[in-house]
A = this chain, B = another copy of it.
Amino acid sequence: MAYSPAVQELMESLRCLPGVGPKSAQRMTFALLQHDRSGAGRLARALQTAAESVGECRLCRNLTEADLCPLCASGRRDPGVLCVVENPSDVQALEDATDYGGLYFVLKGRLSPLDGIGPGELGLEGLEARLVAGEIREIILAVSPTVEGEATAQYLAGMAAEAGVEIARIAHGVPLGGDLDYVDAGTLSHAFAGRSQYR
Protein backbone atom coordinates (compact mmCIF):
# COMPACT_ATOMS: atom_id res chain seq x y z
CA MET A 1 0.00 0.00 0.00
CA ALA A 2 1.53 3.27 -1.14
CA TYR A 3 -0.82 5.53 0.88
CA SER A 4 -0.35 6.51 4.50
CA PRO A 5 -3.20 5.55 6.88
CA ALA A 6 -4.77 9.04 7.06
CA VAL A 7 -4.76 9.41 3.26
CA GLN A 8 -6.16 5.89 2.83
CA GLU A 9 -8.92 6.50 5.37
CA LEU A 10 -9.93 9.77 3.69
CA MET A 11 -10.04 8.02 0.31
CA GLU A 12 -12.27 5.25 1.70
CA SER A 13 -14.56 7.64 3.59
CA LEU A 14 -15.24 9.66 0.44
CA ARG A 15 -16.81 6.53 -1.05
CA CYS A 16 -19.90 7.11 1.12
CA LEU A 17 -20.85 9.97 -1.24
CA PRO A 18 -23.24 8.86 -3.99
CA GLY A 19 -21.60 8.60 -7.40
CA VAL A 20 -18.05 8.53 -6.01
CA GLY A 21 -16.01 5.47 -7.01
CA PRO A 22 -12.38 4.62 -6.24
CA LYS A 23 -10.93 6.88 -8.96
CA SER A 24 -13.04 9.92 -8.02
CA ALA A 25 -12.25 9.37 -4.34
CA GLN A 26 -8.54 9.35 -5.16
CA ARG A 27 -8.85 12.49 -7.27
CA MET A 28 -10.82 14.27 -4.53
CA THR A 29 -8.33 13.23 -1.84
CA PHE A 30 -5.32 14.59 -3.73
CA ALA A 31 -7.14 17.76 -4.79
CA LEU A 32 -8.15 18.53 -1.20
CA LEU A 33 -4.79 17.69 0.37
CA GLN A 34 -2.68 19.42 -2.26
CA HIS A 35 -4.72 22.48 -3.12
CA ASP A 36 -7.61 23.05 -0.72
CA ARG A 37 -6.88 22.35 2.95
CA SER A 38 -9.21 25.14 4.07
CA GLY A 39 -12.02 23.68 1.94
CA ALA A 40 -11.41 20.28 3.52
CA GLY A 41 -11.57 21.80 7.00
CA ARG A 42 -14.76 23.67 6.16
CA LEU A 43 -16.34 20.51 4.73
CA ALA A 44 -15.33 18.53 7.83
CA ARG A 45 -17.02 21.08 10.11
CA ALA A 46 -20.14 21.30 7.91
CA LEU A 47 -20.47 17.51 7.84
CA GLN A 48 -20.06 17.18 11.57
CA THR A 49 -22.53 19.97 12.35
CA ALA A 50 -25.12 18.66 9.90
CA ALA A 51 -24.75 15.00 10.88
CA GLU A 52 -25.15 15.85 14.58
CA SER A 53 -27.80 18.56 14.49
CA VAL A 54 -30.06 18.14 11.45
CA GLY A 55 -33.37 16.49 12.21
CA GLU A 56 -36.76 17.07 10.67
CA CYS A 57 -39.16 19.99 10.81
CA ARG A 58 -42.00 19.36 13.28
CA LEU A 59 -44.61 20.45 10.75
CA CYS A 60 -43.39 19.57 7.24
CA ARG A 61 -40.73 16.87 7.90
CA ASN A 62 -38.16 18.69 5.76
CA LEU A 63 -34.53 18.53 6.91
CA THR A 64 -33.64 21.22 9.44
CA GLU A 65 -31.56 21.66 12.59
CA ALA A 66 -34.26 23.80 14.23
CA ASP A 67 -37.73 22.85 15.47
CA LEU A 68 -39.29 24.37 12.34
CA CYS A 69 -37.75 24.70 8.87
CA PRO A 70 -37.24 28.22 7.41
CA LEU A 71 -40.45 27.95 5.36
CA CYS A 72 -42.71 26.72 8.17
CA ALA A 73 -41.17 29.29 10.53
CA SER A 74 -41.71 32.13 8.06
CA GLY A 75 -44.72 34.30 8.83
CA ARG A 76 -45.09 35.25 5.16
CA ARG A 77 -46.35 31.90 3.83
CA ASP A 78 -50.02 30.91 3.72
CA PRO A 79 -50.41 28.10 6.30
CA GLY A 80 -53.77 27.10 4.79
CA VAL A 81 -52.28 25.59 1.61
CA LEU A 82 -50.07 22.49 1.73
CA CYS A 83 -48.08 21.08 -1.19
CA VAL A 84 -47.23 17.40 -0.66
CA VAL A 85 -43.89 16.27 -2.16
CA GLU A 86 -41.86 13.08 -1.91
CA ASN A 87 -38.32 14.41 -1.35
CA PRO A 88 -36.66 17.39 0.33
CA SER A 89 -35.09 18.31 -3.02
CA ASP A 90 -38.58 18.67 -4.57
CA VAL A 91 -39.23 21.61 -2.24
CA GLN A 92 -36.32 23.61 -3.65
CA ALA A 93 -37.29 22.69 -7.24
CA LEU A 94 -40.83 24.03 -6.70
CA GLU A 95 -39.55 27.12 -4.87
CA ASP A 96 -37.21 27.89 -7.78
CA ALA A 97 -39.81 27.36 -10.52
CA THR A 98 -43.06 28.66 -9.07
CA ASP A 99 -44.37 31.56 -7.01
CA TYR A 100 -46.18 29.18 -4.67
CA GLY A 101 -46.79 30.93 -1.36
CA GLY A 102 -48.08 28.12 0.84
CA LEU A 103 -46.31 25.48 2.93
CA TYR A 104 -45.00 22.01 2.09
CA PHE A 105 -45.25 18.51 3.47
CA VAL A 106 -42.36 16.15 2.73
CA LEU A 107 -43.34 12.46 2.69
CA LYS A 108 -39.74 11.18 2.40
CA GLY A 109 -41.02 8.19 0.50
CA ARG A 110 -44.12 6.69 -1.06
CA LEU A 111 -46.74 4.28 0.28
CA SER A 112 -45.36 0.80 -0.35
CA PRO A 113 -46.83 -1.80 2.01
CA LEU A 114 -44.63 -4.56 0.56
CA ASP A 115 -41.53 -2.63 1.68
CA GLY A 116 -43.10 -1.89 5.04
CA ILE A 117 -43.78 1.75 4.23
CA GLY A 118 -47.25 2.61 5.52
CA PRO A 119 -48.96 5.90 6.40
CA GLY A 120 -47.08 6.01 9.71
CA GLU A 121 -43.66 5.99 8.02
CA LEU A 122 -44.71 8.92 5.84
CA GLY A 123 -45.96 10.99 8.82
CA LEU A 124 -49.52 10.93 7.52
CA GLU A 125 -51.02 10.51 11.01
CA GLY A 126 -49.77 13.94 12.02
CA LEU A 127 -51.04 15.35 8.76
CA GLU A 128 -54.46 13.80 9.30
CA ALA A 129 -54.68 15.44 12.73
CA ARG A 130 -53.90 18.81 11.14
CA LEU A 131 -56.56 18.26 8.48
CA VAL A 132 -59.17 17.31 11.07
CA ALA A 133 -58.22 20.32 13.20
CA GLY A 134 -59.14 22.52 10.20
CA GLU A 135 -55.67 24.13 9.85
CA ILE A 136 -55.53 23.42 6.13
CA ARG A 137 -58.04 24.34 3.45
CA GLU A 138 -56.25 23.07 0.31
CA ILE A 139 -53.78 20.30 -0.55
CA ILE A 140 -51.73 20.25 -3.77
CA LEU A 141 -50.26 16.84 -4.63
CA ALA A 142 -46.85 16.91 -6.29
CA VAL A 143 -46.08 13.19 -5.91
CA SER A 144 -44.69 11.18 -8.81
CA PRO A 145 -47.04 9.41 -11.24
CA THR A 146 -45.65 5.93 -10.42
CA VAL A 147 -47.65 3.05 -8.96
CA GLU A 148 -46.58 3.90 -5.40
CA GLY A 149 -47.06 7.61 -6.08
CA GLU A 150 -50.62 6.95 -7.30
CA ALA A 151 -51.35 4.86 -4.19
CA THR A 152 -50.03 7.69 -2.03
CA ALA A 153 -52.16 10.21 -3.94
CA GLN A 154 -55.27 8.02 -3.49
CA TYR A 155 -54.64 7.70 0.23
CA LEU A 156 -54.19 11.46 0.62
CA ALA A 157 -57.34 12.11 -1.45
CA GLY A 158 -59.28 9.86 0.96
CA MET A 159 -57.93 11.77 3.96
CA ALA A 160 -58.77 15.12 2.34
CA ALA A 161 -62.32 14.03 1.43
CA GLU A 162 -62.97 12.90 5.00
CA ALA A 163 -61.78 16.22 6.40
CA GLY A 164 -63.61 18.21 3.69
CA VAL A 165 -60.37 19.71 2.34
CA GLU A 166 -59.93 20.66 -1.34
CA ILE A 167 -57.31 18.58 -3.14
CA ALA A 168 -55.55 19.21 -6.47
CA ARG A 169 -52.71 17.52 -8.32
CA ILE A 170 -50.03 19.11 -10.49
CA ALA A 171 -50.36 18.33 -14.21
CA HIS A 172 -48.42 15.45 -15.73
CA GLY A 173 -47.94 15.46 -19.49
CA VAL A 174 -45.59 16.31 -22.34
CA PRO A 175 -42.81 18.60 -21.05
CA LEU A 176 -42.37 22.05 -22.64
CA GLY A 177 -40.21 21.80 -25.75
CA GLY A 178 -40.75 18.03 -25.73
CA ASP A 179 -40.92 16.39 -29.13
CA LEU A 180 -43.86 13.94 -29.21
CA ASP A 181 -41.58 11.50 -31.02
CA TYR A 182 -39.24 11.32 -28.05
CA VAL A 183 -41.75 11.29 -25.21
CA ASP A 184 -42.29 7.84 -23.65
CA ALA A 185 -45.60 6.08 -24.28
CA GLY A 186 -46.73 6.27 -20.63
CA THR A 187 -46.35 10.04 -20.50
CA LEU A 188 -48.02 10.46 -23.88
CA SER A 189 -51.04 8.33 -22.99
CA HIS A 190 -51.27 10.20 -19.68
CA ALA A 191 -51.13 13.55 -21.49
CA PHE A 192 -53.76 12.42 -24.01
CA ALA A 193 -56.15 11.13 -21.37
CA GLY A 194 -55.65 14.26 -19.30
CA ARG A 195 -56.43 16.73 -22.12
CA SER A 196 -58.31 19.89 -21.10
CA GLN A 197 -60.57 22.24 -23.04
CA TYR A 198 -58.67 24.72 -25.20
CA ARG A 199 -60.05 28.22 -25.21
Binding site for B on A (CB under 8 A): 1-7, 9-10, 12-14, 16-19, 24, 26-34, 36-37, 39-54, 62-66, 69-71, 87-89, 91-92, 95, 108
Contact = CB atoms under 8 A, between A and B. Distances in A.
29 contacts: A1-B70, A2-B62, A2-B69, A2-B70, A2-B95, A3-B70, A4-B54, A4-B63, A6-B49, A6-B54, A7-B64, A9-B46, A9-B50, A10-B47, A10-B50, A14-B17, A14-B43, A16-B42, A16-B43, A17-B28, A18-B28, A19-B28, A27-B89, A30-B88, A32-B47, A32-B51, A34-B63, A41-B52, A45-B48
A140 B30 CA distance: 23
A-B interface, 8 closest residue pairs, ranked by CB to CB distance from nearest? A16-B39, A44-B47, A4-B64, A13-B46, A40-B51, A44-B48, A13-B43, A10-B50
A89 B30 contact: yes
**A interface, by DSSP: helix, strand, loop or mixed?**
helix
Nearest to A47: B44
A120 to B, nearest CB: 17
Contacts of A36: 16
Contacts of A43: 13-14, 16-17, 44, 47
